[in-house]
Structure 1
Amino acid sequence: MNNNSYMINAQDATLKKKIEIDIENYISRIEELALNNPFYFNESFKIKDLALKINTPKSHVVYVFKYHSKISFNDFKKIIRIKNALNLIAHGYLKINTIEALASEVGFLSYSAFFKSFKSTVGVSPKEYNDKT
Structure 2
Amino acid sequence: MFTFTLVGVYLLLTFRELINSKKNAQTKDKTVNVWVNVLISAFVFIYIAGFVLKGYYGLETRDWLIDFYVVSSAVWFFLFCYIFLNPIILYGRIILLKSIVQEESSTDFWNFKPTRPVEKKHLYIKTALEDSYTDLIYKLIKIQEDDQLIKENNYSIDFLSSQLVVPKSHLIYLFNYHCMYRGNDYINLIKVLKAQRLLKAGYLEHKTIESLAQECNFNSRITFFKNFKKQTGLSPSEFNVNLAV
TM-score, structure 1 length as denominator? 0.86
Greater Rg over alpha carbons, structure: 2
Alignment equivalent of 1:34, drawn from 127, 144, 154? 144
- Describe the shift of the 1:74–1:43 C-alpha distance in structure 2 as closer, same or farther (beyond 3 A): farther
* 1:79–1:121 contact (8 Å) kept in structure 2: yes
CA shift for structure 1 position 8 = 3.0
- Describe the shift of the 1:116–1:37 C-alpha distance in structure 2 as closer, same or farther (beyond 3 A): closer
Q: State how far apart, in whole Å, the 2-side matches of 1:34 and 1:76 are.
A: 10
Deviation digits for residues 56-84 of structure 1 (CA, Å, limit 9, x no counterpart):
12221111111111111322222221121
* 1:40–1:77 contact (8 Å) kept in structure 2: no
Alignment equivalent of 2:177, drawn from 67, 71, 87? 67
> Quick one: which amino acid aligns to residue 32 of structure 1?
K
Q: After the TM superposition, which residues 76-115 of structure 1 pair with which residues of structure 2 at under 5 Å, given as runs? A: 76-115=186-225
Alignment equivalent of 1:7, drawn from 118, 132, 152? 118
Percent identity of paired positions between Structure 1 and Structure 2: 30
The question of 1:58 aligning with 2:150 is answered: no
CA shift for structure 1 position 91 = 2.1
> Quick one: which amino acid aligns to residue 83 of structure 1?
L
Q: State how far apart, in whole Å, the 1-side matches of 2:147 and 2:225 are.
A: 23
CA shift for structure 1 position 96 = 1.9
> Quick one: which amino acid aligns to residue 77 of structure 1?
I
Q: State how far apart, in whole Å, the 2-side matches of 1:46 and 1:61 are.
A: 11
Q: State how far apart, in whole Å, the 1-side matches of 2:217 and 2:123 are.
A: 34
CA RMSD of aligned residues (A): 1.9
* 1:43–1:109 contact (8 Å) kept in structure 2: no
- Describe the shift of the 1:128–1:37 C-alpha distance in structure 2 as closer, same or farther (beyond 3 A): closer
The question of 1:24 aligning with 2:138 is answered: no
Length, aligned pairs only: 132
Query: Relative CO higher for 1 or 2, CA cutoff 8 Å, sep ≥ 6?
Result: 1
Unaligned runs of 5+ in 2: 1-109
Unaligned runs of 5+ in 1: none
* 1:43–1:108 contact (8 Å) kept in structure 2: no
CA shift for structure 1 position 131 = 2.7
Q: State how far apart, in whole Å, the 2-side matches of 1:126 and 1:37 are.
A: 18
Q: State how far apart, in whole Å, the 2-side matches of 1:110 and 1:36 are.
A: 21
Q: State how far apart, in whole Å, the 2-side matches of 1:90 and 1:83 are.
A: 11
CA shift for structure 1 position 5 = 4.7
SS of corresponding position for 2:145 = helix
SS of corresponding position for 1:21 = coil
* 2:147–2:194 contact (8 Å) kept in structure 1: no
| Runs of 4+ with deviation above 4 angstroms | none
> Quick one: which amino acid aligns to residue 7 of structure 1?
V
